[in-house]
Structure 1
Amino acid sequence: MKKIFFIVLVSVMSSVVMFSQDDAGGDTFRNTLNLGQVSNEQPANATFAISYIAPSSIDGSKYLYDDWKNVGVLETGKNKKYRIENLNYDVERDAFVSKISKDSVLVFNTVNFKKIVINNKNFKVVDKVNENGMMFMEVVGEADSFSLLKDYKLTIREGVFSPTKGKGNDEYVISYKYYVQRNGQITAIKFKKSELLKIFGSKADQIKSFAKKNRLSFNKDKDVKRMFLYLNKIS
């Protein structure tokens, strides 16, 4: 499917984003449709593009979240944090976007960001698996020597043919795989109890007991996150 995007590259947060200081002293910027409202202080090298969404006959969505009522925090390599509203993750582009109108989004050039948190999901930049370049992966759990990562992918499922209705619409499908990052290396892993216990190494028995005591599942992200929190306490 061909999509036409009108891209406008903008340097250092001009036109559509207003920057301010929050109560905690951190840097904050909010989307605004009142053009031209930009404060004197701006995040360095934070360019973005305005992308107009082309109509699509494909069912489903290429965005990770069903709606845009999401608030995210972007953290740069210099540990500066910026707050963004209406944030979503475009799985097809591997990019974070913010909706500014019914038919357009801001596509953030996140090359200068090291971490993004949205709806309690923590994403970080990692080396692409068997490729040159970088990509975002969700951090399911993180310890001193390794991390458990989740990589989202977008595919298109072909519409089913019906003798009475003809061929149905194609559909976006978001899938994911898990990886372990250790010593700069990323290795695929099956998200199941036996594989997860292996990565916990000498602490596996303690993690197993903790999971049993708290009725945690090795097949749920939120439960595995709790296991990592416990791991960091006992390490």
Structure 2
Amino acid sequence: MSLRKNVLILGSTGPSGRRTVEEALERGYQVTVYDRKTEKLPEALRENENLTIHRGVLPDAPKTLNPLIPDFGAIISILGPNTMAGSGDELSNFYEWLLKMLRTIPAAKRPYLLVMGTQSITAPEDTFQLFTSVHVFLIGLIAPGARYEIDGIKRLFPPKGANDDLDWCMYRLNVLHNGPSRDGAMAGYVGCLGFKADMDRGQLAKWLLDEVEQKKWVRKMPALWGEK
């Protein structure tokens, strides 16, 4: 099995994560998942011989994942902040460790890191879009802890400079719907021609694995949406 076909998926037990695990297995990947509630994975997935399951929480991830990271061709994170009050930094602390860990691996063997962000994280190529602007305002109003976490993640992945030595992509989402894996995922920037605010989870899963294989958005921050 080539390095490219060995992938770590974080956030595997949510609806989007499960669909991404299914997509990767359907494409013949060796899949490893790390999650605190792995029992939420369907039994059919848990019994798949190409799936390796590690159970744990993010603060303990370095101990478990540190020896495994060099074996992966890609790391797909579908983790998002869910702190409704106070300050959240669990996810940004994990990414800070992960970025440091990746730099200990020879450049030619470093996994491609795909990190989920929201469209409240702006890219230089974005233009004004009312729905997204309102969404950003509401996050800060009703979920200040999530806003704090999002800001921490944004600082770790500046568009230029700090991580130019790594292969990473921050894909930015807004509204997700249940839907099968199919074509129709679009990538661009907020406010560009054709931009929409939503997509199906099946479209997301397909886009993520396509990006692992094609690497069209390395060191970029595409906003994703779906064509119906």
Q: Report TM bin, short chain.
A: under 0.3
Name whichever structure is richer in strand by fraction: 1
| Higher Rg of the two aligned structures | 1
Where relative contact order (Cα < 8 A, 6+ residues apart) is larger, the structure is 2
**How does the TM-score come out when normalised to structure 2?**
0.24
Name whichever structure is richer in helix by fraction: 2
